Structure 1
Amino acid sequence: MVDRDPTPVERRFLDMIAKLKQSDAIDVRGERKGDISDVVEDTAAGFALLEELFGITLDPALVDHHVRYWELGIHWYEAGASVGAGGEFVLRELVDALMSGPPDAGSVRDEEEAALFGELRVIDYLPDSGENAFAAVRLAKDTLAPRTWVHWFPHGLFELELDYPGYLEALLLTRGFYGWQFLYADVRLADPAYAPLADLIRTGLDFLAAALPDPRYEELETRLADRLR
């Protein structure tokens, strides 16, 4: 593996992961940091190759939010707690994700959802937690649709109020605690069907507020309150 200088967005993720690992309040169960391939070392060249081979055009503005590592992520839990807060994310490099095709549609609920799966490309997933969940971008006429999506079994697919850069920014803020994506979805978490998700989010927010304080959590608290009404 050839060491390459991190870009600003990569450095922000590496620093966030480092702070999680350094916290006495957190146990790290796993970490992933893949190589940076020659194909995407130069982001603009990687985007051009994607267009040449697959006809997929990416907005040049995405360069500033391109995490070039093949995979980058962490799996963490509240230290010393058998039941407590936890989180996980594994980001996939965007060009590779778009080239890799759609996710397995084995858990779809109907034909409409199956058709939507065919347009999705996974950008973030949870390989170690046991949760059947992922986040994805959507291809629309060979470009990225404005919004990202989350799939969480058994609840299905939800469109998020986040574009791709927005997804990365929210992930940096939430540190990937379980269920955070639903703070950005049009969903009524007060519905009893979503009680486990609401508990995950409440537990995650309370833990972060104590272990890694950040005044920006106020936005997340407001979003949770809105979805619990």
Structure 2
Amino acid sequence: MSPLTQNEQLHLNSLEEVKNCSLLESQCSGTTLDRPLTNISPEEYGESWEGVHFSESMLSSYLRFYEIGAAWRTVGGLSDVKGEYSLINFHDALMSSDPGTEQGQTAFHQAFLSQLCPIDRSPRSGAGFQTYLRMQAEVDELELWYSDIADIEQPPYPPGFIKLDISYCEYLDALLLTKGTYGWQYLFADISLSGKGSSDSRNNLKNMLRAFPEIFPDRDYSSLRDRLEARL
């Protein structure tokens, strides 16, 4: 296996920041490398994915780790913030079952659900979120969709799913800033966080923007602050 790419090293460093931070209580794992993305053909994992391809930007930013992630929370008197991420190697992600086509209320729902391939999840805490790639043929960039236990809906798509307005590469970049803070994905979705049902995510994100400048003082959180304000 070739040496770590620049992006792999950035994410390994980010994981170490969480693991070694005295202001965070964490469970971390993941350094073993798997095969590169260039060796993966989606159609080998499902006939319905014939014609699906990974863009050049995905190929250049893809992380070869078998799994990399952390579940954490702040300690030491800081604002209470919790988070988790667990990036799945694409070889395993492509073999994962879809989120349940039998739950689709229409043929469109069922077809949509069959296209979803998980790339990020919360196995340690059981928080219930997952982020998916939508495996569509002949598109320039594959869409990202987010699902958690919150009551979200974006018709005509099935309840519980919302599209993210970022690419896979941008998702990885955002993880370097957010460290997987619960609800961070909503900062990149067309959604309001002002309602009562969004209070947990809203408060966690507000606390993140209070605590992270102290925990990680070399990072600029102004872009995330602007995104949160736009959704309140």
Q: Same fold judged by TM-score > 0.5?
A: yes
Cα pair 1:33 1:73 within 8 Å, conserved: yes
TM-score, length-scaled by structure 2: 0.83
Q: Where do residues 1-229 of structure 1 align in structure 2 (5 Å cutoff)? A: 5-28=3-26, 30-33=27-30, 35-37=32-34, 40=35, 42-44=36-38, 46-47=39-40, 49-51=41-43, 54=46, 55=50, 56-80=52-76, 84-104=80-100, 110-111=105-106, 113-141=109-137, 145-155=141-151, 156-228=160-232
Instruction: Give the aligned CA root-mean-square deviation in angstroms.
Output: 2.6
SS in 2 for 1:88: strand
Shift of 1:143: 5.7
User: Percent of aligned positions with the same letter in both sequences?
Assistant: 26
Change (3 A) 1:105 1:195: farther
* Letter of the structure 2 residue corresponding to residue 69 of structure 1: F
CA distance in 1, matches of 2:204, 2:111: 30
Task: Spell out, residue by residue over 1:41-77, the C-alpha distance to the aligned partner (whole angstroms, 9 max, x if none).
Answer: x442x13x44556534222332221111121111111
List gaps (5 residues or longer) in structure 1. Answer: none
TM-score, length-scaled by structure 1: 0.84
Shift of 1:133: 0.7
The number of residues matched between the two structures is 219
Shift of 1:109: 7.9
Change (3 A) 1:127 1:81: farther
Shift of 1:104: 4.2
CA distance in 1, matches of 2:214, 2:141: 36
Task: Spell out, residue by residue over 1:155-183, the C-alpha distance to the aligned partner (whole angstroms, 9 max, x if none).
Answer: 21110111111111111111111110000
* Letter of the structure 1 residue corresponding to residue 193 of structure 2: L
List gaps (5 residues or longer) in structure 2. Answer: 152-159
Cα pair 1:66 1:94 within 8 Å, conserved: no
